Amino acid sequence: MADALADLPPVAEETLAPGDLDARLAGAREPFLVRGLARDWPLVQAGLKGAAAARAYLVAKARARQFPVNIGQPGGGERLFYDAAMGMNFRMAQGPLAAILDGIAANEDKPEAPAIYLSSIDMGDYFDGLREDNALMLGARRPIESIWIGGRTRIAAHNDVPDNIAVCAVGRRRFTLFPPDAIGDLYIGPLENTPAGRPVSMVDFAAPDLAAHPRFAQALERAHVAELEPGDAVFIPSLWWHHVEGLAPFNALVNYWWRDAPAFLGKPEDALFHGILALRDLDPATKAEWQALFDRYVFASDPGVTAHLPEDARGILAPLTAETAGQIRARLLRGLSR
């Protein structure tokens, strides 16, 4: 099945100069792939000389501090996931970047080697000049800028709340993408016990068990794949599911997360957890009554919701401001603290 993923329809490719990216991202709701967007990055150029050159470049930029790293079980394969008891099949460790990268190099292509993966390392916190020398033109956005480094790895399909641009800096990456409403066909695991902070698909994409997960076949009918070479970038919109593979013996990926929503708004995921707490286990009739209220006050875009009220009397039903958002937050905190 891993090879079959490459036969899925490709993500749409676009030709963009680096300076055109900011405008293209405005309002984008579908994935797209840009070849060579970051080809001039020093990290990309180092990687094109070989994995050793890429590792040397990263070590030269690294700060003298401990880096967090995920280490799989020897012989456990490339998939960082749950174990049979729904714990994790990897452990967390820390060490200097040079020692971690030496470990990746020493284990390249050994059949029983453990997966070694540095995930979501903040470039500004852990490196000097890496972020500045390897950057995208994102306009006024202020993204979280992270680097992901490892050998051959497979990361289960998950989604992220922010929009995301992922740049293959070294090696090769494969992203298999699904729209947000494919959730019912991906067999998502627990919300709170997760390998890396986000709920993941329980389907093993390399060997899917269609007897246990029959709807996964329907998910694949809606999937698209992006195969990234060094310097290529893929845009992954908010809440799109993505399965990520590092395909080369040494891989480095840089990604940018951001939200275009005003900073004073709450986090939708907090509302999801509060909904589970307050609504999910009510009787069906009561839930239907509350659903009507949510449809009216949360999901409706009909101006008639408040048209009968004077503008200065609409309160939090009017478009939110930092002040009214603060009022809601204070009310929620009072309620949750009881």
User: pLDDT tens digits for 241-276?
Assistant: 999 999 999 999 999 999 999 999 999 999 999 999
Percent of the chain with pLDDT over 90: 94
Kindly indicate the confidence band of residue 5, based on its pLDDT and cuts at 50, 70 and 90. confident
Domain with CATH 2.60.120.650 in the chain: 2-258
Q: Which amino acid is residue 185, in one-letter code?
A: D
pLDDT tens by residue, 127-139: 999 999 999 999 9
- pLDDT average, residue stretch 214-224: 98
- Could you give the count of Cα atoms lying within 13 Å of 36 in the half-sphere of its Cβ? 4
Distances (CA, A) of 239 to 21, 23, 112, 117, 213: 20, 21, 35, 23, 21
Pick the CATH number of 2-258 from 2.60.120.650, 2.70.70.10, 3.30.930.10, 3.30.429.10: 2.60.120.650
pLDDT tens by residue, 29-79: 999 999 999 999 999 999 999 999 999 999 999 999 999 999 999 999 999
pLDDT tens by residue, 227-241: 999 999 999 999 999
pLDDT exceeds 60 at position 211: yes
pLDDT exceeds 70 at position 294: yes
pLDDT (0 to 100) of residue 152 = 96
Mean pLDDT score across all residues of the chain:
96
Q: Which amino acid is residue 27, in one-letter code?
A: G
Q: How far apart are CA 322 and CA 330, in angstroms?
A: 12
pLDDT (0 to 100) of residue 3 = 65
Distances (CA, A) of 22 to 140, 141, 165, 209, 327: 9, 9, 11, 41, 33
Distances (CA, A) of 119 to 46, 67, 247: 20, 10, 16
* Whole-prediction pTM: 0.95
pLDDT exceeds 90 at position 26: yes
Helix (H) / strand (E) element for 258: namely: strand 251-258
pLDDT (0 to 100) of residue 302 = 85
pLDDT exceeds 90 at position 213: yes
